[in-house]
Structures are given as C-alpha cells and as structure tokens.
Structure 1
Amino acid sequence: MSIEVKICGLSEPATLEAALGAGADLVGLVSFPKSPRHVSPEKAAELAALARGRARVALLLVDASDDLVGELVSATLPDVLQLHGDESPERAAELRRIFGREVWKAIPLGAEADLAAAELYWDAADRVLFDARPPQGAELPGGNGLAFDWELLANLDPARPFVLSGGLTPENVGEAVRVARAKTVDVSSGVETVPGVKDPERIAAFVRAARAAGPF
C-alpha cells in the first residue's frame, strides 16, 4: 500500500487540477475566514465539483456551528470533515453522526505530553491528524509551516489511524514518513510560494517524494 497524500488549502481550479494531476488522494478546502486559504461556500462547491470522482474531498472547519457545517456539506458533499478547533470528542462524534461523514480531528503536538489528548479522540473520530502546535498568539490553528519532532510518533501503535501534518515539504516528507511510520500525509504551506498560493511544481514534487517513501 502506497502512502496516501492529501493536498490541503486549495483555493483555485488551476492548482486543484495540479493536485489531481499529480495523483493526490485527497484535496482539502478551508472554511476559516482568518486563513489565507479560506474559500467561500460557493467557491468550495465549485472546487469540490471539479474533484468529485477523482479524489476525496476534505472540508477543514474550525469550531463551526451546525448551520455552517450543514450549509457547507450541502454545497460540497465532502467525504471528510477535518476539525481544527477546540472541538471536544463529543462534538466530533456528534458531527459524524449528524452529517454521516468521516471525521478527522487535528491534535497539536509540541511535546510527548500532548499525545494524551489524542487518546480521547480515537473512538470519537475516524482519524487523528497530528500537526505542530502553533506559536503563542498565532491566528491559525494549522498551516503555519511548522514541524514537530516526528520521533514523538515513533512509538505510536501503527494500527492507529493517524495523519501526519505540520511543516511537511517535498524535501522532508520522506524522512518524516520513515520516522513517524505514517501511512497518510497532509501538506499545505509546504507546497506554496506565499501563504495561500500553491505551486504546481511543488505539489507534484511532494506527491512523488511521499510515494517514494512507502510502503514500509
């Protein structure tokens, strides 16, 4: 089984097509106005329609209300709801139940003690996404281009369904996969020229490097 690759924060048809053409398994659309990668419900619907049947679509949300989630789910018909806020395990399970979508919950890592938070979500969410803990005062819960120490995941049960994210690039994804023994990787800022602007060449390079790193 090859490494599964998700390209997140896509906001334009051209770069979405670049991700699909490179062979991305999942594409991510961000609904969070503070993010430079934010797309409106209308834009998200347009992009999701282009991806449908070619890759799975993940919708990134931050402490979204039921009304907003319902609007976005109706517009985009996503495969995955990716939660990056302070959503509790109960909230994650509730969203999965209400909307019938796979749910991923992002957990920020900065030290081994942070892994304890993941234990609360293994049953409530379909996957846990490990991202770097944002710096103090940061407005974005993810997409900050920061990596964490991948050795923190080296002793994680490999049967646990997790996603590796945070500071990944075409240059380091191979090493990250090897150390963390990740089966799924998620990139956003690592394939950009400036925040919010994806680079088709870096997208293709990332997919190639990730696939070359596995299986293991």
Structure 2
Amino acid sequence: MKIKICGMKYPDNILEVGALLPDYMGFIFWEKSARYFDGEIPELPKSIKKVGVFVNESVENIIQKITKHNLQAVQLHGKESVEFCEDLKGKIDSSVEIIKVFSVGDDFDFDVLKPFENVCNYFLFDTKGKLPGGNGTTFDWKILDNYKSEKPFFLSGGIGIEEIPTIVKLKLPIYAIDVNSRFEIEPGLKNVQLCKDACVKTHSSASLHSK
C-alpha cells in the first residue's frame, strides 16, 4: 500500500516531507483552496510522483501545469465528465496517471463509476462535504463493501495517523492512503514527524499484512 501526502505548499516543508519518501505528493492548483500552490516545486527524489490537483479546470491549463512542474499524475476533484477525462487522456503522455475523485456519502451509487473505468488509472474516494476536498472528516468505509470494480483506488477524507492500521487491514483494493488536513500545523504546512509516522505505518503495516 502506498501513501500520498497532499496539500503541500511551502518549499522548505516540501523538501522535509520529500525526504521521507512518500509515494505521492499532491499540489493543489485550485485557487479557492487554502492550500493553493502557485510556486515552483523544488527538486524531489525521483521515486516520488508529483500530483497536480485540479477542480473543473480546462484541459489546456492542466497540460500547462503538467509541463511546467513535470507532474506524474493529475487528480480531478471536480465534476469532470467521462468525455473530459477521455480528452485529457488522449492529449497527455500515457505515463501520466489520471486519478478521478468521487465524493462519497451514505447514498453513494457505485454504478456512476462504470463509465470512468477506461478513462482513468485510479479512483479516489473522499468524504462528501462543503468543499471539493480537505473537509477533514471520514466517511463510513463500510459503504466500500459495495465497490465491485477491480480498479485500485486511493482512500481519502479526514484520515489521521490512528486510522492507518485499520485501513491496511481492509479487504479492499486500496492502492494508496491519501492524507492531508490531519497532518498539518496550518493549511499547507505539514507536521513532518506525523508525516514520517504515516509513511512508516503505511509501508510497514501493509508489508506485514501482506505476509
């Protein structure tokens, strides 16, 4: 199981967290976010995949950010359609992963995922709330028992350090844990020690669980 640390904002903090070697680091390119990133991403270890997080952005602007920051993945956190994802997929390098986000509430219908199966690499399930993301609350993971697809997914939504051991034991195709607000000192500034604990717990717990 992999870990993604999202909502990075400050260069020194980015380098400190990058030294922990999370699998993914997320940079939010949505201007309304308190974690909006508009700087230059410092050089990171090559093993870390840089993710650009977008909300209802144009294909052209996404491509511009991919090129500028050498992004290895894009996370679509808005109401992007199947056609939008297909268009984007056809215009970017096949090595760039597309992560399509779905906000999950108690009444979430997993049938809405089917048309997206062939136009994204991963799904990401976040908690349905007032904001597109970063609401800091978990949803009832039992609803994921209704997930019938074989496509691996990212699990997000108010995940703290204490939830990680439980998550790695879930018998679900969870590809990565996505953490953000509960690992912060303030929006965009991560608690490095907490992030280190998260990386250790995710990688070691997942390894032990797989044996």
Same fold, TM-score > 0.5, yes or no: yes
Determine which of 122, 136, 147 is the counterpart of 1:145. 136
> Conserved in 1, the CA contact under 8 Å of 2:66 and 2:72?
no
Alignment of 1:1-216 (within 5 A): 3-40=1-38, 43=39, 46-47=40-41, 49-51=42-44, 53-100=46-93, 101-134=96-129, 138=130, 140-157=131-148, 159-179=150-170, 181=172, 182-215=174-207, 216=210
Q: CA RMSD in A?
A: 1.8
Match of 1:13, as an amino acid?
P
User: Within 2, Cα distance between the matches of 1:191 and 1:17?
Assistant: 16
User: Within 1, Cα distance between the matches of 2:66 and 2:12?
Assistant: 23
Match of 1:114, as an amino acid?
D
Deviation at 1:58? 0.6
Identity value in percent: 26
Residue 87 and residue 158 in structure 1: after superposition, are their counterparts in 2 closer, same or farther (change >3 A)? closer
Deviation at 1:95? 0.8
Match of 2:155, as an amino acid?
L
Ranges in structure 1 where 5+ consecutive residues have no aligned partner:
none
User: Within 2, Cα distance between the matches of 1:183 and 1:189?
Assistant: 20
Residue 210 and residue 69 in structure 1: after superposition, are their counterparts in 2 closer, same or farther (change >3 A)? same
User: Within 2, Cα distance between the matches of 1:194 and 1:163?
Assistant: 24
Ranges in structure 2 where 5+ consecutive residues have no aligned partner:
none
Which segment drifts farther, 156-165 or 27-36? 156-165
Deviation at 1:144? 1.1
Match of 1:198, as an amino acid?
K
> Conserved in 1, the CA contact under 8 Å of 2:2 and 2:176?
yes
